Chain A
Amino acid sequence: MVSAESLFGPIDPAPDAGYVDAPPRMGFFTDTSVCIGCKACEVACKEWNLVPDHGLDLLGMSYDNTGALTANSWRHVAFIEQPRPLGAESPALAGTATGPSGSAHLAERASTPPGVPNTDPGLPPAPHPGPAAAMAASPEFLGMPGTDLPGRQERAGQRTDLRWLMMSDVCKHCTHAACLDVCPTGSLFRTEFGTVVVQEDICNGCGYCISACPYGVIDQRKGDGRAWKCTLCYDRLRDNRVPACAQACPTESIQYGPLDELRERAQRRVERLHADGVPEARLYGHDENDGVGGDGAFFLLLDEPEVYGLPPDPIVTTRDLPDMWRRAGLAALAMAGAAVAAFVGRRSA
């Protein structure tokens, strides 16, 4: 039921939403350290949920041609290539042909036009082409097969070792979900599993959830006008089945289960990775004391969140809502006071 923590703080969302005898909160733990970038999750999600195709484009972002989570992509595999010596291992590129596979000017071009034609805002263009160009221009880039002719590229012979980060992104199913809080129709609702789902027969496409989401997940489908996002396969959950993406994941990078269990498992995995010499491994979205009360879908990352396109410290906007209403009340009083004063002030003139 509604409590002091209903807007901010650690709570169990399903009972807070009014469910009696709710089942345990279910969620995803996405361990990016074992993701191989196969995109089976993207495909399985589309097939099970009958998500329309998202258009076809080469984005100049390594093997990522999906670009972002959109109304028509409820899982999105990110690819990041970073220069990194591989320690005692043999150099990954020893004996291979040299010459970069991408080029800065192509990446710059690709980063600026909007990538996904049939959702809104879908995949917004990068405001500056510089970062995309810089990523493609560094010699470790090993992205798409080059779209330049061989020999046309600038820096033949400069490849270095790299590490390739891959991460399957998804709706976070926040404990304090801003999208749900601001929805004016009640279309977005909290399920008994603690997840957040859009009712497509209710949504009228007001777009408020899209501006409210601190992760930039929910998105509007063009032509249709409604907002769409991951449902954490609500239909499958009610049948005691595993969500399509987790079912399809060949490396168990996407793990599904009761959130408590997943959090324990994730903690053990991080400790194991630290012991194995991967000090940069860290969890993201696991902490119920963070700005959104913890995510129902959380991650193990190998670099800072913003490298993957995640906000480093998101805070649910409705945390400040009581304050906002207070300020609006004061402003309303000031406005009424000004009107009264203006007319009462002097009867003449």
Chain B
Amino acid sequence: MSDGDAMGERFREFQRQLAERGDPAGPAAGQPASRTERGVREPGSRDWAPQTQRARPGDRGRRNREAINVPPAEFSSYYGRPILKPPVWKHDIAAYLFTGGLAAGSSLIAAGADLTGRPTLRRAARITSLGAVVASTYFLINDLGKPARFHHMLRVAKPTSPMSIGTWILSAFGPAAGVAAVAELGPLLPERGVLGLARRVSSPAGRIAGLAAAATAPALATYTGVLLADTAVPSWHDAYPDLPFLFAGSALVGASGAALIAAPPTETGPVHRLAVAGAAMELVAERRIEHGMGLSSEPYQQGLGGRLTRLSRALLLGGVAGALVGRRSRLLSMLSGAALVGSSLATRFGVFHAGVDSAKDPKYTVVPQRERLERKGSAPGA
């Protein structure tokens, strides 16, 4: 019944769109179309994209609706439909990429601050880490088709499934980050009695838990690169050598940004150095992804993926420069920190969208595979 309703609705929408288009095939437009070697041209309308077109890097494919006379891409497709199923992951996963990296980077900063006697920085980083890891867990579970079955992830440990490995990494990291953050409450407890004991234990417990979290943090920040790369999505898979570095760099950038917002300039010296290191890592990896993968690089230059990638780079450069220049100013540090957090967020959403776009267009699936076959010099099964 609902399907019938949906269909009626869809048909009405279809008719409405036809009417809006001015219906070039209406009774008045009876003039025959000419069939050319480049495809079929509609009278008084525009060139149809030929069925076979040659792909050209820099082809602004998304604008085809306005300019149907697109640069040709020489590949066939089944009615132009995608071959792959685009990822069903929602923005939860892009957000998780960010929060997971933020949690990991913050744990590293917290451990460093703890060991080098920077209490404000330690407290801020531990709390950021806990908040980010709680958000990560929420995003991951919320993205499931059956959230109530999230614990089915814990049935197995599979090295061939980055998601399974990631579940176990998060299971190790989360409680450690939690204990470290909760230990910050120790000084608020009374000095006597059972709670007094807890107060005395809190500092060493926080240190041990914080170090445990920091030990798992690099795995948490980098496995997500494998998580995306271990798919058939062209622009994710082809980026597999660089995605972990991009995400590691972006995690350091995001966590440094959060630390700059929350901690005073007297304690953020190492954070500046960490932001510079993270930015360098991210920029190198991003450059390789954006320009080194042939056609699979295109979604990182165009569309939403391209815009987010450029935004992330602008915020990153601005944030790092601001942090270094304004290292004595609390306000400038906070602004730069916000830019760095924003850059990390934009990086993750940019990568997410570039991948999704590459799965939605059969060009990114067919053209590279066809070229690979031609390099091998044999057609399949011939």
Contacts and interface: CB of A to CB of B under 8 A. Distances in A.
Contacts of A49: none
B311 interface: no
Contacts of A212: 230-232
A212 B7 CA distance: 31
B362 A182 contact: no
Given A185-B152, A206-B145, A210-B87, A131 B240 contact: no
Interface in A38-84: 53, 55-57, 59-61, 67-68, 78, 80
Contacts of B369: 311-314
Contacts of B164: 184-185
Given A104-B48, A184-B158, A306 B68 contact: no
A100 B53 CA distance: 24
A154 B160 contact: no
The number of chain B residues touching the other chain, given as a range, is 35 or more
A8 to B, nearest CB: 12
A282 B81 contact: no
A332 B77 contact: no
Nearest to A155: B32
Contacts of A68: 81
A113 B14 contact: yes
Contacts of B217: 335-336
B334 interface: no
Interface stretch (A223-231, A239-247, A251-259): A223-231
Given A327-B241, A343-B270, A184 B83 contact: no
Interface string A156-185: 101000000000000000000010011111
Contacts of B370: 306, 312-313
B137 interface: no
Contacts of A56: 3-4, 7
A207 B88 contact: yes
A62 B235 CA distance: 31
Interface stretch (B177-185, B201-209, B220-228): B220-228
A208 interface: yes
A202 B249 CA distance: 36
A57 B25 CA distance: 22
Interface of A: 7, 53, 55-57, 59-61, 67-68, 78, 80, 103-107, 109-111, 113, 117-118, 120-121, 123-135, 137-139, 148, 151-156, 158, 178, 181-187, 202-208, 210-220, 224-227, 270, 282-284, 286-287, 290, 301, 304-314, 317-318, 320-321, 323-325, 327-336, 338-343, 345-349
Q: Which 4 residue pairs across A and B have the least CB separation, nearest first?
A: A205-B145, A130-B49, A225-B145, A349-B269
11 contacts: A78-B78, A128-B70, A130-B50, A131-B51, A185-B153, A207-B87, A211-B233, A219-B85, A307-B78, A334-B248, A349-B269
Interface of B: 3-4, 6-7, 10, 13-14, 17-18, 21, 23-27, 29-33, 35, 39-40, 42-43, 48-51, 53, 61-62, 64-65, 68, 70, 75-89, 104, 108-109, 111-113, 115-116, 143-147, 149-150, 152-153, 155-156, 158-164, 167, 214, 217-219, 221-223, 225-226, 229-233, 236-237, 240-245, 247-249, 251-252, 269-271, 273-274, 277-278, 281, 359-362, 365-366, 369-370, 372-373, 379-382
